[in-house]
Structure 1
Amino acid sequence: MEILEPLSGDEFAPETTYLNTSSCGLVPRRAVAAITRLAGENAAGTRQGAGSFDALNAVRGSFARLTGVGADRVALGSSVSVHVALVAHSLPAGAEVLAPEGEFSSVVQPFAVRGDLKMRYVPLESLAESVRPGTALVAFSSVQSVDGRVADLDAVRAAAAAHGARTLLDASQSAGWLPLDAGAYDYTVTAGFKFLACPRGTSFLTVTEEAQERLGALHSGWFAAEDLTDNYGPVRELAGSARRYDEPGSFLSYHAAAESLALLEEVGIEAVCAHDLALAARLRAGLASLGHRAVSDSSAVVAVPGLDGLQPELVRGGVYASARGGNLRFALHLYNSSADVDRALEVLSAAL
């Protein structure tokens, strides 16, 4: 695989060896400029309202194009757990939800907290074969946060279809580097502040037209109305699209997100994927030369068991990674270069 050095050009301004996108992605310069511009206008009172709905629509359109669905299937929000809670509320009491063991809490907690659903957890590798006729929903991440393992997406979708189960995919650790066909799942949820390079306060829910028929718009306000001038009293008609599930937009975050997603569209997810995986392969090879093996060999998230205690040493060396579940976790993205990987290996070698 070819590493382009780096894909982002002058779009980002890291002052460290930043290999921690699984925790939080870097925001590009153009997005920072958008935040600064809008904040200044809000401070000066030179605009009507706190931000532009055109920016929200631009973000919705960009995310739709990046994930292969129509913009009418995309809802905007602020957190994955709020999106998942909508899905959790739509299930009847006693419904079975199947999820991988150790799945990220935001994916499973909204189901677990209900107390009247049957939660079943299995190893990620057994997820597809564990779907059964009584399974109502399979909730899982495309890439596991703790160690970067990539789910067998085709197998899980096929098993769910065979048994009449719905699917909820969390793409927070993959959208932005791994190509995603969001329309292949009943629901997808994605945090914007990781590989999509958006600020916190941006998240995305996709809903197929069929799945929308069962999903209530529990937190709908005037922004969920078909007619956005319908502002007083109960909304007369909810939006016919997935916009009915929008949370009120955080304009500062979404003005920036419009720029971040536009950059990803310009570069192209396929190019980002090739770049990120090439860097990850370089890092895994270097780790192997130091006597350590990563959990996954097919992910942009590279986690090494047993080295989590070295994370503070890396930070002192100017290398940012994270400690998660006993792993030292690196995450490579479009603003990284082979020099970043080599620096991380240099500091890690000195710490071992």
Structure 2
Amino acid sequence: MKTLDTLERLVRTEFTPGNTFLNTAANALLPARAVTALEGAARLRAAGGPLDPLYDDVEAGRAAYARLAGVPAGRVAVGATAALYTALVAASLRPGAEVLTAENDFASVVNAFHVRGDLEVRTVPLERLAGSVGPDTALVAVSAVQSADGRIADLDALREAARAHGARTYVDLSQAIGWLPVDAGAFDYSVAIVYKWLLGPHGGAFLTVPEDFGDLLPVQAAWAAAENPWNSAYGPVAELAHSARRFDTSPALFSYTGLRASLELLEEIGVDAVHAHDVALADRFRAGLAALGHEPVPSPGSAIVSVPGLGRLQPELSRAGFALSDRAGHLRASFHLYNTPADVDRLLDALPG
């Protein structure tokens, strides 16, 4: 097990931000090893080399994500966006089915259910989600951690309520996995994009499904979803993959090459260590805000902190060298393994109050 000093040296070797970067909830910094891997992939393509190593990276990334999510690799599908997989889940529902969602959740989690036009979408405050599951509920869809303000859903209560009423669950882990220990196996379906807390490039996403695939139909399936992909390029796919790979789409190879390196770093450090580090910094920021007379949105235990009314300061803070987000009028700061207490204090010194 690495000491804290060893971990700090490792992180400093991998990350060299040019600003005070507190915006992982938007997109993460790439570690040096991921940049090196991407450069190697680009050189391979430029030289006309075989792509087999890049496809190996896809499978290594699938296996690493499965370990982080706590499920077998056979339950993990590889794709490009969370919205695509939400559409897949939405397509599985019968007309008139009730879908329960949280107010102001991220559009990629909820929009596909609305645009179908023949579903009963019911929206409630996040804190009432588990208590609102009823006998008519077919699916509950929610982000594990809310993008706008960092609130953490009570996933244990949600799982129990859904089980009691025979409802399925669809959980977006995009703002959670990588810093918050998660058990994707506790839910029917879960999804995560890779360019936030997983430290990957844009262009990748993972879907987890039950062993029996639940109610999902692989309506997006093509050659990549076949049991024998390279024998399934023409005409209808004769045999779908026997694993969650039947929900794969053709992967963005460079993204998964960079991601493989990033996931290796996360596994080397350990999510528990990342969680302790990130939350300690967020708590330091919350305490400093209180001293300045600011009250953030309550999000105990979260690595994301949002301060109502201060979103207007984002452009000014950007010019001063801070990477932050303005979300729904809130100034959102998000803390990850490359951040330090000095970053927190520097931001607090820049805020009014």
Q: What is the TM-score of this pair, normalised by structure 2?
A: 0.95
Of the candidates 181, 184, 192, which is equivalent to residue 183 of structure 2?
Answer: 181
Of the candidates 107, 110, 113, which is equivalent to residue 108 of structure 1?
Answer: 110
Which deviations, in whole Å up to 9, do the C-alpha atoms of 1:115-169 show, x marking residues without a partner? Answer: 0000000000100100000000000011101111111111111100000000000
Give the match for residue 42 of structure 2.
Answer: 39
Give the match for residue 257 of structure 1.
Answer: 259
Of the candidates 236, 247, 250, which is equivalent to residue 248 of structure 1?
Answer: 250
Asked if the contact 2:286–2:305 (Cα under 8 Å) also holds between the matched residues in 1, the reply is yes
Q: Which runs of 5+ in 2 are unaligned?
A: none
Give the match for residue 340 of structure 1.
Answer: 343
Which deviations, in whole Å up to 9, do the C-alpha atoms of 1:156-185 show, x marking residues without a partner? Answer: 111000000000000111110000100000
Closer/same/farther in 2, CA of residues 244 and 105 from structure 1, 3 Å limit: same
Give the match for residue 156 of structure 1.
Answer: 158
Which deviations, in whole Å up to 9, do the C-alpha atoms of 1:187-215 show, x marking residues without a partner? Answer: 001011101100110111000113x1421
Give the match for residue 327 of structure 1.
Answer: 330
Query: What one-letter code is carried by the residue in structure 2 that aligns with 1:306?
Result: G
Q: Percent identity?
A: 54
Give the match for residue 316 of structure 2.
Answer: 313
Rounded to whole Å, the distance in 2 between the matches of 1:51 and 1:82 is 26
Of the candidates 277, 281, 284, which is equivalent to residue 282 of structure 1?
Answer: 284
Closer/same/farther in 2, CA of residues 7 and 37 from structure 1, 3 Å limit: closer
Query: What one-letter code is carried by the residue in structure 2 that aligns with 1:186?
Result: D
Query: What one-letter code is carried by the residue in structure 1 that aligns with 2:27?
Result: C
Report the alpha carbon displacement of residue 41 of structure 1 after superposing the two structures with TM. 1.6
Query: What one-letter code is carried by the residue in structure 2 that aligns with 1:219?
Result: Q
Which runs of structure 2 are paired with 1:99-138 in the superposition (5 Å)? 99-138=101-140
Deviates more, 1:219-228 or 1:191-200: 219-228
Rounded to whole Å, the distance in 1 between the matches of 2:83 and 2:336 is 24
Query: What one-letter code is carried by the residue in structure 1 that aligns with 2:33?
Result: R
Give the match for residue 234 of structure 1.
Answer: 236
Give the match for residue 25 of structure 2.
Answer: 22
Query: What one-letter code is carried by the residue in structure 2 that aligns with 1:218?
Result: V
Give the match for residue 221 of structure 1.
Answer: 222
Across the aligned residues of Structure 1 and Structure 2, the Cα RMSD in angstroms comes to 1.5
Query: What one-letter code is carried by the residue in structure 2 that aligns with 1:166?
Result: R
Rounded to whole Å, the distance in 2 between the matches of 1:86 and 1:311 is 36
Asked if the contact 2:197–2:336 (Cα under 8 Å) also holds between the matched residues in 1, the reply is yes
Rounded to whole Å, the distance in 1 between the matches of 2:327 and 2:153 is 18
Of the candidates 69, 72, 79, which is equivalent to residue 71 of structure 2?
Answer: 69
Report the alpha carbon displacement of residue 48 of structure 1 after superposing the two structures with TM. 2.0
Asked if the contact 1:50–1:251 (Cα under 8 Å) also holds between the matched residues in 2, the reply is no
SS in 1 for 2:116: coil
SS in 1 for 2:131: helix
Q: Which runs of 5+ in 1 are unaligned?
A: none
Give the match for residue 190 of structure 1.
Answer: 192
SS in 2 for 1:229: helix
SS in 2 for 1:304: strand
SS in 2 for 1:8: helix
Rounded to whole Å, the distance in 1 between the matches of 2:177 and 2:253 is 22
Report the alpha carbon displacement of residue 9 of structure 1 after superposing the two structures with TM. 3.0
Give the match for residue 14 of structure 2.
Answer: 11
Rounded to whole Å, the distance in 1 between the matches of 2:135 and 2:10 is 45
Higher relative contact order by CA 8 Å / sep ≥ 6: 1 or 2?
A: 1
Rounded to whole Å, the distance in 1 between the matches of 2:214 and 2:90 is 14
SS in 2 for 1:88: helix
Asked if the contact 1:7–1:272 (Cα under 8 Å) also holds between the matched residues in 2, the reply is no
Of the candidates 148, 165, 168, which is equivalent to residue 167 of structure 2?
Answer: 165
Query: What one-letter code is carried by the residue in structure 2 that aligns with 1:8?
Result: V
Report the alpha carbon displacement of residue 221 of structure 1 after superposing the two structures with TM. 1.3
Report the alpha carbon displacement of residue 5 of structure 1 after superposing the two structures with TM. 4.7
Query: What one-letter code is carried by the residue in structure 2 that aligns with 1:65?
Result: R
SS in 2 for 1:248: coil
Give the match for residue 92 of structure 2.
Answer: 90
SS in 2 for 1:21: coil
Asked if the contact 2:76–2:208 (Cα under 8 Å) also holds between the matched residues in 1, the reply is yes
Report the alpha carbon displacement of residue 223 of structure 1 after superposing the two structures with TM. 1.3
